[in-house]
């Protein structure tokens, strides 16, 4: 069985992909869309993290039998085309239940306690010139007693909710926007927007969730609220977010994902220097432990497919 990994540079070099019996392995550091067909020409299994696999690619790859996503999200794969072509698609689930929530709380704590603002003030010499032992130039807010709004009730959202409860936060799980009936254990989406001191997003990007958080949603939020997005960049309208931060309506934002990745240097959220905006380069998922767990799960999916078994199948 021929296996091709299209974007090995997505992973740290220390991460190892286990071998599968009777397989021939080839990997590429990165692959452009126009290179997919040639590089996967002999492949029965293609591994991809963010390289798009389109209907055109599938039609040009008659040997292809399995697309193994090295991620949970499969929005880069044309699922309907795979179904029509009889090509299996598998993803990885649950590998990030520690790393993403930890990153969420790293962003949350940094913003609520103004860590970067204090770092800048210290570098500017303000502490050395203080007439008392400490420096109180930036707001500091505890998580205990604050309201955490979680949008997305999957494994990551639930894990973040558990950490929030451990910090002593009041946790609200948001119901889907626009539904008539609110499920037990959930709160209406609009209520969560207005009551959250911290709002964190953990849901896939679809036509319904594109720009889920825009100008009107940000206007509903508390003036000192913090928004965290470690899911998909296009869940948030970047121009609306920037306007809310600049106007002082929003207390802060911790963003790990952008609507274009890698982003242009002049992306609106990268072209500003705001102490209450933290942008990290899509690394919430990427602890070494989580990367290795993901690689192990991917190869377990491939091995199961080789045995004729269905494991973590999307199609």
Give, in order, the Cα–Cα distances in Å from 64 to each of 30, 42, 43, 85.
19, 8, 6, 9
Element (H, E) at 294: helix 288-306
Q: Which of 35, 261, 289, 309 is catalytic?
A: 261
Contact 256, 284 (CB under 8 A): yes
Q: Active-site residue 126, yes or no?
A: no
Question: Rounded to whole angstroms, how far apart are CA atoms 229 and 199?
Answer: 8
Element (H, E) at 38: helix 36-39
298-312 in b/e form (b: 16+ CB < 10 A) is bbbbbbbbbeeeeeb
Region of residue 168 (phi > 0: left; psi between -120 and 50: alpha; otherwise: beta)? left
Instruction: Report the Cα 52 to chain-centroid distance in Å.
Output: 17
Q: Which of 103, 232, 293, 297 is catalytic?
A: 232
Q: Which of 112, 282, 293, 297 is catalytic?
A: 282
190 HSE (CA, 13 A, CB side): 4
Residues assigned a catalytic role: 232, 261, 282
């Amino acid at each position: 069985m021929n296996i091709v990994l299209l974007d090995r540079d997505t992973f740290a070099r220390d991460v190892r992909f286990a071998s599968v019996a009777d397989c021939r392995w080839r990997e590429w550091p990165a692959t452009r869309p126009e290179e997919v067909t040639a590089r996967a020409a002999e492949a029965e299994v293609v591994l991809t993290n963010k390289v798009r696999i389109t209907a055109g690619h599938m039609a040009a790859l008659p040997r292809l039998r399995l697309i193994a996503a090295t991620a949970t999200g499969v929005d880069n794969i044309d699922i309907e085309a795979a179904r029509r072509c009889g090509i299996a698609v598998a993803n990885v689930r649950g590998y990030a239940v520690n790393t993403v929530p930890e990153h969420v709380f790293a962003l949350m704590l940094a913003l609520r306690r103004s860590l970067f603002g204090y770092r800048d003030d210290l570098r500017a010499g303000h502490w050395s010139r203080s007439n008392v032992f400490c420096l109180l130039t930036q707001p500091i807010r505890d998580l205990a007693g604050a309201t955490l709004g979680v949008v997305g009730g999957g494994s990551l959202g639930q894990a973040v909710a558990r950490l929030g409860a451990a910090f002593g936060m009041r946790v609200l799980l948001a119901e889907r926007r626009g539904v008539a009936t609110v499920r037990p254990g959930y709160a209406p989406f609009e209520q969560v927007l207005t009551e959250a001191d911290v709002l964190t997003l953990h849901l896939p990007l679809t036509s319904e969730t594109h720009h889920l958080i825009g100008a009107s949603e940000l206007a509903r939020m508390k003036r000192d609220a913090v928004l965290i997005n470690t899911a998909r960049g296009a869940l948030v309208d970047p121009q609306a977010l920037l306007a809310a931060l600049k106007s002082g309506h929003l207390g802060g934002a911790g963003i790990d994902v952008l609507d274009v990745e890698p982003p242009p240097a002049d992306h609106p959220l990268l072209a500003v220097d705001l102490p209450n905006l933290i942008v990290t380069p899509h690394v919430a998922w990427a602890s070494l432990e989580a990367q290795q767990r993901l690689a192990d799960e991917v190869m377990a999916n491939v091995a199961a497919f080789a045995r004729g078994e269905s494991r973590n199948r999307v199609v």
